[in-house]
Structure 1
Amino acid sequence: MDDISTGTLFIVLAVLIFISAYFSGSETGMMSVNRYKLRHLAQSGNKSARRVTQLLDRPDRLIGLILIGNNLVNILASAIATIIGMRLYGDYGIAIATIVLTLIILIFAEVTPKTIAALHPERVAFPTSFVLSPLLKVFYPLVAAVNFITNNMMRLLGINPSAAGKDTLSAEELRTIVHEAGSLIPSRHQEMLLSILDLEKVTVDDIMIPRNEITALDINDDLQSIVRQLNNMPHTLILLYRGEIDDAIGFLHARDMLRLLTRSHEPDKASIVRAARDIYFIPEGTPLSVQLVKFQHNKERIGLVVDEYGDIQGMVTLEDLLEEIVGDFTTSITGQTQEHIHRQADGTYLVEGTMNLRDLNKELKVNLPIDGPKTLNGLIIEEFGDIPQYPMCIRIAGYVIEILEVTDNRVEQVRIQPKRKRKSR
């Protein structure tokens, strides 16, 4: 070292600081790169992305290589800085060199390159992979020896090094990613993706048509009444039952009924029963994600929801299920949701008691509890603990609900007062 000029040592020191900055930036860039975007680029044929993916498959080796190189460079830089300091300032040069080198490394070899790499990880990770890949092969024996020691130390602490790089996303994390996608994903598509993620939380009980609202035909009625109902049937499918809805016979399709009415002016009851199609039963509490697959597997579009005793609780159609993903269609077997809600001039809403709570929350952007009763009528009765009288008001989840009409022990109509926004001071 005595034969090397001070100017040359300054040049070597600058080169070492630059190399240290490279290793520091490489570490941050490699660890900060988006793994899922990286996999997409790698699968699309991006060679740089493939190299980075291969390096990140074993992060212990990558970190070991970077830290070995960084520490060697920093130690050598410290030694050269000490020599320069002693040449310029004598014994005080050691302290001066330590302070100055620490500041230089901190600013130029740590904070600055790591900040740049954190802000632009791909721009740093992709070019550095050209250098790190061959370096890993050259220094592999040393890296392997260091990893052998560190990995065994981690195993003593109960950490499995082989589990690295196998990160997965939960449904909640996926939901957060969709929310934060912003303009990258259109808002309509975001809503659909979030609805798909919610399918596991929603059951057929939440979207089914209640049994009292099912359009059905009693085969025990007189023949003229049955034919009249068939002619005026508003839906493609109608449930046929005997006496009461729990004694369901099957579903009548519009095509089958048209064929019956065409062949005979007044078909007999036996022919109507024979035309009925088999009923597809759905256990209550079935998640929508499961039921969607079952509809597809069984080639069905409609089913009756039954409880543990076999009693019919409601009806679910494929259209109802798809509306949970893509939103309401123009027509529905139960009619438009807007028919149950009427906006008033004063900003309040007149709502029918039979309104489904989940649909009500979506339409009015409110947050009424849905973990109990499924309808507004059921929620009011559960909250009040009795059949309420009218007119009267009740507050549920912060919303003022005025009961306007009660008939047959059921809340028929209410007025909902939306929460008023607080004025900012």
Structure 2
Amino acid sequence: MDAAFWITSAAIIGLLFLSGFFSGSETALTAASRGKLRAAVDKGSKGAERALQITEDNESLIGSVLLGNNLVNILATSLATALFTRLLGESGVALATLIMTLLVLIFAEVLPKTYAITNPETAATRVAPVIALVIRVFSPVVGAVRWFVRVILRQFGVQTDPDSQILAVREEIAGALHLGHSEGVVEKEDRDRILGALDLAERTVEEVMLHRSAIEMINADHDPQDILQQCLESSHTRLPVFKDDPENIIGLIHAKDLLRAMYKLMEGAESSMDALRSFKIADVAMEPYFVPDTTSLDDQMRQFLKRRTHFALVVDEYGALQGLITLEDILEEIVGEITDEFDPDADHTITVAEDGNFWIDGQMTIRDFNRATDYNLPDDEANTVAGLVIHEAQMIPTVGQAFSFHGFRFEVAGRENNRLTRLKIRPLEAPLRQNREA
């Protein structure tokens, strides 16, 4: 055991330390929460700021760390093989392989990665300055390797996006919420609210609007007394005004504006029955606000806030009226059903019978049904449960017909004209393949 032995042994130990550093750094930087790192940056942490910067390009980060890790591992194994071969001859190769496997596994993989995964933000903050230097040194080699890898993948028809993140932020948050709910850490209501806010950019006004068949309107040609009576009996504050044809919306009347105008005609200095009879609702109606049915809920909410209005009429690509949407409709996608003293029955659209069947209004949206029951019916082909039944059945069912699909049994309990008004739903005992029974 001369000086060469001790120098080689020291070099192997140093390389194992570097291997552990690279392994732990990779785990820490990929597992660290960017939200927590951002909070640390706001408190003045330079290490967290550097960690955020280097994790922007995950491909360069992982490539540089893997390159450094493989270099030190291969060099350490080569030195160990040479050392044991010198001491024990050819049998030293097997012994060097066994010993280095154990040393690398324990001290260069399991131990540093366990520490890093236990304290990812702290570890990432500490190693970030050194890893940033490693990335800068290895950048030419890593760049060449990345180019070579893309060339090979392109031969197999695989296109890579160098700017893509390993995990999209939205999917990461959604996954964490679902995991937290399944483990009992996150309440269902909290999960639904946050996911509802995240989904606003993915959903359109067409999915949550009130269909035109259910819109309450005022006919501008009616007598003023009839218009006043309709407004007083209505549970809505704002009502669209049409002339000649319900498709021809000429304005939007607010109940307060209507009452002020009529009160002035009946009680003011210029009050007279003739003035009341000649009252024209178009004179006090506001200009209608139309939006395309493809507008995202996120954009529409921003427009509502910008215009300081809560009410919009929805039209399709041909300009035909499709429905209406309010700011409350969008907020309900986040917080759930909002009711007041004028619509006490709005939150009773689903009931659970003693036999386990769900009785629902056919116009209940699939999203509301999923949120109420924590099931997962697909809403790609239809917005309402009745629409899903019609889509799957490929027909308009009659009362009494039943269908089984997506793990549920749907029975039609009520129908008016071509509209399914009442449905009875129960989950099947065992998941079935999508089939239909009539």
When normalised by structure 1's length, the TM-score is: 0.77
Structure 2 residue aligned with 1:103? 98
Per mean C-alpha deviation after superposition, the further-off stretch among 175-184 and 111-120 is 175-184
Of the three residues 413, 425, 430, the one matched with 1:416 is 425
Size of the aligned set, in residue pairs, is 402
The residue correspondences of 1:256-405 to structure 2 (distance < 5 A) are 256-265=257-266, 267-268=276-277, 270-331=279-340, 336-405=345-414
Structure 1 residue aligned with 2:235? 234
Per mean C-alpha deviation after superposition, the further-off stretch among 148-157 and 227-236 is 148-157
CA distance in 1, matches of 2:341, 2:301: 18
Pairwise CA distance, 1:252: 1.4
Structure 2 residue aligned with 1:225? 226
Secondary structure at 2:207's aligned position in 1? helix
Change (3 A) 1:383 1:64: closer
Structure 2 residue aligned with 1:214? 215
Structure 1 residue aligned with 2:45? 46
Of the three residues 147, 165, 181, the one matched with 1:155 is 147
* Cα displacement string for residues 201-251 of structure 1 (whole angstroms, at most 9, x for unaligned residues): 322111111112112222222332222122223222122222432122222
One-letter amino acid of the structure 1 residue matched with residue 193 of structure 2: M
CA distance in 2, matches of 1:234, 1:48: 58
Secondary structure at 2:92's aligned position in 1? helix
* Cα displacement string for residues 278-319 of structure 1 (whole angstroms, at most 9, x for unaligned residues): 111111232223322332333331111112332211110011
Secondary structure at 1:371's aligned position in 2? coil
User: What is the percent sequence identity of the aligned residues?
Assistant: 26
Pairwise CA distance, 1:71: 5.0
Where do 5+ consecutive residues of structure 2 fail to align? 153-159, 267-272, 432-438
Change (3 A) 1:186 1:294: same
Are the equivalent residues in 2 in contact too, given 1:368–1:396 (CA < 8 A)?
no
Structure 2 residue aligned with 1:89? none
Structure 1 residue aligned with 2:435? none
Where do 5+ consecutive residues of structure 1 fail to align? 86-92
CA distance in 2, matches of 1:165, 1:233: 52
CA distance in 1, matches of 2:130, 2:292: 60
**C-alpha RMSD of the superposition:** 3.9
CA distance in 2, matches of 1:232, 1:269: 22
* Cα displacement string for residues 63-118 of structure 1 (whole angstroms, at most 9, x for unaligned residues): 555555555555444444444x2xxxxxxx12343333322221123444311222
CA distance in 1, matches of 2:227, 2:428: 48
Change (3 A) 1:358 1:239: same
Change (3 A) 1:111 1:315: same
Per mean C-alpha deviation after superposition, the further-off stretch among 269-278 and 356-365 is 356-365
Secondary structure at 1:351's aligned position in 2? strand
Are the equivalent residues in 2 in contact too, given 1:78–1:101 (CA < 8 A)?
yes
Which has more radius of gyration? 1
Change (3 A) 1:366 1:244: farther
Change (3 A) 1:269 1:236: farther
Secondary structure at 1:338's aligned position in 2? coil
CA distance in 1, matches of 2:187, 2:142: 46
Per mean C-alpha deviation after superposition, the further-off stretch among 339-348 and 65-74 is 65-74
One-letter amino acid of the structure 2 residue matched with residue 347 of structure 1: G
Say whether residues 1:117 and 2:112 are aligned partners: yes
Secondary structure at 1:120's aligned position in 2? helix
The residue correspondences of 1:47-126 to structure 2 (distance < 5 A) are 47-50=46-49, 59=61, 68=71, 71-83=74-86, 85=87, 93-121=88-116, 122=120
Are the equivalent residues in 1 in contact too, given 2:407–2:430 (CA < 8 A)?
no
When normalised by structure 2's length, the TM-score is: 0.75
Say whether residues 1:255 and 2:256 are aligned partners: yes
CA distance in 1, matches of 2:94, 2:130: 31
